[in-house]
Homo-oligomer: A and B are copies of this chain.
């Protein structure tokens, strides 16, 4: 594995390619929303060919990235705005019949703070599937059937997340699965500030917890939307970035003979010296990650709720909450 591509974000996968390459990858369509406010930006990456899939290291499909540096700070007006943007992008990404049930799955380990995004978001999802029989025909029209679960991780349950979700899907038969997951970014400034939506589902090896099996339309027989937020950068990425910064910074040219030729293998020797592998996974997170995860989980759940229940008045949404 190339140690410096530890990112789950398609926008970063593209940035990591050399400048000449990334400007024009056949089969990758990039679109940046020009009409955006300064507070946030939206980037759409569409990977349309197997060759593009291989170059990017990401499955074919659509990736939407919402970025807002202000999400690191408690800022209710921005949070409300991003909830609306997320709801809209989600609705645009998937067409689903009003009569079908949606299953929201919160991936990750609730005992590991930066991996707990999915479980925390699921707590705030407005579930309604069990109310369908009680609703009058008129109300039923306006309230979509939604159910939700945080299935836990392999080390906690002894079962692959994919097994549990497969079992539930085969019984509940939803028309769509939305999977929420904590991601790893390549750059610390994307931590907590970026939301990625994709219609490709969850693929093996992704996420803070490194899934062993995927959750995709192919494996579940149901379309899967994945919503992810980077909550960590691997510590090795910081070390690699430092070396790259040294190499690239013109002002330091005088120190080097031929730093540009520093081989990947040599870089890894340095990284392993600074971060011995015996220590297990070392993560870089903001000091206040506990609070930030709670805030961004509210935003993810808010966006999903607004998208799935457009007719519920947001002020009264609490009435439907457990």
Whether a CB of chain B sits under 8 angstroms from the CB of A171 is: yes
Cβ-closest chain B residue relative to A101: B158
A145, A266, A274: residue with the most chain B Cβ atoms closer than 10 Å? A274
Whether a CB of chain B sits under 8 angstroms from the CB of A152 is: yes
| In contact, B249 and A290 (Cβ under 8 angstroms) | no
A284 and B235 in contact (CB under 8 A), knowing A74-B319, A166-B171, A270-B249?
Answer: yes
Chain B residues contacting A146 (CB-CB under 8 Å) are: 158
A283 and B282 in contact (CB under 8 A), knowing A130-B159, A270-B242?
Answer: no
In the complex, what distance in Å separates the CA atom of A319 from the CA atom of B77? Answer: 12
Chain B residues contacting A129 (CB-CB under 8 Å) are: 158-159
Whether a CB of chain B sits under 8 angstroms from the CB of A287 is: yes
Count how many chain A residues have C-beta atoms less than 8 Å from C-beta atoms of the other chain.
91
| In contact, A76 and B318 (Cβ under 8 angstroms) | yes
The stretch among A55-63, A85-93, A250-258, A298-306 that forms the contact with chain B is A250-258
Ranked nearest first, the 7 interchain pairs of A and B with the lowest CB-CB distance are A127-B158, A147-B158, A167-B171, A167-B167, A129-B158, A281-B287, A155-B322
| In contact, A280 and B158 (Cβ under 8 angstroms) | no
A282 shortest CB reach to chain B, Å: 5
A172, A254, A258, A287: residue with the most chain B Cβ atoms closer than 10 Å? A287
Whether a CB of chain B sits under 8 angstroms from the CB of A243 is: yes
A83 shortest CB reach to chain B, Å: 15
List 17 A–B pairs whose Cβ atoms lie within 8 Å, in order of A's numbering: A69-B278, A72-B279, A111-B290, A127-B155, A129-B159, A130-B159, A145-B158, A146-B158, A149-B157, A156-B322, A159-B168, A163-B172, A235-B284, A239-B242, A246-B270, A252-B266, A283-B287
Whether a CB of chain B sits under 8 angstroms from the CB of A205 is: no
| In contact, B242 and A269 (Cβ under 8 angstroms) | no
A275 and B238 in contact (CB under 8 A), knowing A163-B171, A255-B258, A285-B285?
Answer: yes
